[in-house]
Amino acid sequence: MGDPIHIEGSAGPGNTNAVVDVWPEKIWPRLQAGPLAAVREELSGWLVAQGYAPSTQYNLARAAVRLGTWMLAKNLRLEDLDQARVLFMVRDDNERNPKHSSANENLSAVLRFLKETGRLRPVRVIHAQPRPAEACLANWLRFLKVEQGQGASWIDKARRVGEPFLELIEEPSGELHWERVNVAMANEFLHRTVSGYSPSTAQCTAALLRCLLTWAAANGRVTDGIAFGVLSPRRIHSGLPKGLSASEVAALKGAVDLASPTGRRDMAVIVMLARLGVRVGEVAGLTLDDVNWRDPSLRVVGKGGRVLILPMPVDVGEALVDYLRVRRAQPGERGVFIRSMPPFRALNRVGVTEIMFKHARMAGLEGVNAHRLRHTAATQILAGGGNLRQVQELLGHASLASSMTYARVDMIPLRPLAPSWGKLP
């Protein structure tokens, strides 16, 4: 790995004035850094400001040297560099030296430095005319977003249904032959698409296919009635929504190491999921501006862009304060929950999901996902004497019908009190 890089002062991302020694003599002078030698001091300061560990800074510096050496061999100046040329170099080097592939991955951080400092020329983008199938798909997705107010998750699922369906009626020229679409063809596509998937996924796919065909009929592309002929996959009624018990929630929290900033972040995420029943995307999308400390509440954006104002329980507020005291983010980042590794940007949905899976495994709660904590929050309301309207308001259901499934959960404790059939006094 080599000698560590010695840094004077704080290495936090907020301290851009940290004094940084030159890279060790064994890195830069021995290897020809070419045009990148002129930016080595600036690069070293940028890596410190981004929060990279000294050993990682060392590896990224070597990646910059590799890039500079290649530029020297190709007689390229710094102003000649663009992302396309770098990608060509990486691909060529990986083919000739497969063992270099892991080292070449470090170039992504170097490219980000060059881009942020205005030294990487943008690749010229040629905007080609979209094919009819691409244009049709884009119009349908735009209809779902603008006219129906659907969220990003639903639109992504619609894309995965609409794209392969349109490919069936697309000619090599890109033209769409809607006259091929009939009930039999639609059901055959549905059967092939949902084969091997769960009943809930099959139902979702069928609903999206009907939506596409209904939209196509409204625009005169297919005849009316084809959408009604799309069959409904067999429903398998799942069990009642099952939340975690108090002991399971305690075990989940107990698996978190509060001695580290990452542990405090994870605890705040878990407490929010368990107490407020928010969705993974709502946690990932939370910003510092959404936290109201004066009137303790949180602003979250739910499905379909619905804005919800949720009360902030004491334990949620304490967990957030405990984390925000050690929160480390790059300048200008307003997301509440930040990645634990550079670049220090807001967590995405996958990152929040991984937090839940990680600590559930550590607590011995295999198969527990973030949505189980949503059920936990709902069942706690009912167990505490709340009603379905309160469940709807907390979970952000657009309709009370979505909350009605918890009514069955609420009746379970009443069953032992009901007399058996035929034994009424």
- Alpha-carbon distances of 121 from 85, 117, 126, rounded to whole Å: 10, 11, 15
Residue 105: name the closest of 122, 120, 87, 84 by CA.
87
Say which residue the tokens 């907390």 belong to.
394
Say which residue the tokens 């170099």 belong to.
89
Contact, 107 vs 87, CB < 8 A? no
Contact, 147 vs 136, CB < 8 A? no
- Alpha-carbon distances of 19 from 9, 47, 154, 378, rounded to whole Å: 6, 12, 49, 52
Tell me the two tokens of residue 23.
């890279």
Q: 3-state class of 22 per DSSP? A: coil
Neighbours of 349 (CB within 10 A): 17
Q: What sign has the CA pseudo-torsion 235, 391, 144, 153? A: negative
Contact, 43 vs 61, CB < 8 A? yes
Residues serving a catalytic function are 279, 303, 371, 374, 397, 406
Residue 250: name the closest of 323, 174, 359, 384 by CA.
359
Distance separating alpha carbons of residues 16 and 331, to the nearest angstrom:
10
Say which residue the tokens 């952000």 belong to.
396
Tell me the two tokens of residue 313.
């329980």
Contact, 161 vs 209, CB < 8 A? yes
Q: 3-state class of 222 per DSSP? A: coil
Non-local CB neighbours of 207 within 8 Å, separated by 6+ positions: none
Contact, 338 vs 329, CB < 8 A? yes
